[in-house]
Amino acid sequence: MPAHLILGGARSGKSRYAETLACDSGLPVTVIATAEAFDAEMTARIRRHQNDRPAGWRTVETPVTLAATLREEARDGRCVIVDCLTLWLLNLMVGAENLSDPPDASQLPQLQAERAALLDTLPALPGQILLVANEVGLGLVPETPLGRLYRDEAGRLNQALARICARVSFVAAGLPLALKGTA
């Protein structure tokens, strides 16, 4: 089954929507979690997400090597949730504060390689793949060059994924809107 990209803002209900789709699939579920807990608040957020999931779901933590993990986890008869691509992108931008001014993503070879690997891998994966990502382009323009680079790279990633995913949904206030395919 082709991949489904689920976009939304912070606290929009995008993760819950992905979890509902996974439950409705009736398939065994693996969650690929990309967040890293660097402080108490993030630790609490991660714990809250874990507690919201059914007990039988597997969780694989993958902050960087997403394409490789997807190749290992995606199988016919299995549903994989990636939550979330925006944090994964942030993990790939570690060290970006040392880039030239203005910062340029071409100076981040790991980001370029991992992004290309994801886009190359995704179309061939078996099973049901649910990709959760923030739509960060709806807010204010970030104040810093690095913030703008992050926003731009997130938008570019979402556009590239939307082109290759069979389904794309936007979630606002817990309500999914089908942008491509059916919600």
User: Which residue ranges form the domains of the chain, and what is each CATH number?
Assistant: 4-180 (3.40.50.300)
111: pLDDT strictly greater than 90:
yes
The pLDDT value given to residue 102: 74
d(C-alpha 179, C-alpha 183), whole Å: 8
3-state SS class at 99:
coil
% of the chain exceeding 70 in pLDDT: 99
Q: 173: which DSSP letter?
A: T
Q: Give 53 or 27, the one with higher predicted confidence.
A: 27
pTM of the model: 0.93
Residue 84: is the preceding peptide bond cis (ω within 30°)?
yes
Which of 13, 17, 35, 49 does the annotation list as catalytic?
Answer: 49
Alpha-carbon distances, residue 92 vs 38, 44, 87, 153 (angstroms): 15, 22, 9, 11
Confidence of residue 106 (pLDDT cuts 50, 70, 90): confident
Nearby residues of 176 by Cβ (< 8 Å), 6 or more positions away: 6, 17, 169, 170, 183
Reduced 3-state DSSP string for 44-60: HHHHHHHHHCCCCCEEE
| Whether 49 is catalytic | yes
Taking 90 as the threshold, does the pLDDT of residue 2 lie above it?
Answer: no
Using one digit for the tens of pLDDT, what is the confidence trace for 35-88? 888 788 888 888 888 888 898 999 999 999 999 999 999 999 999 999 999 999
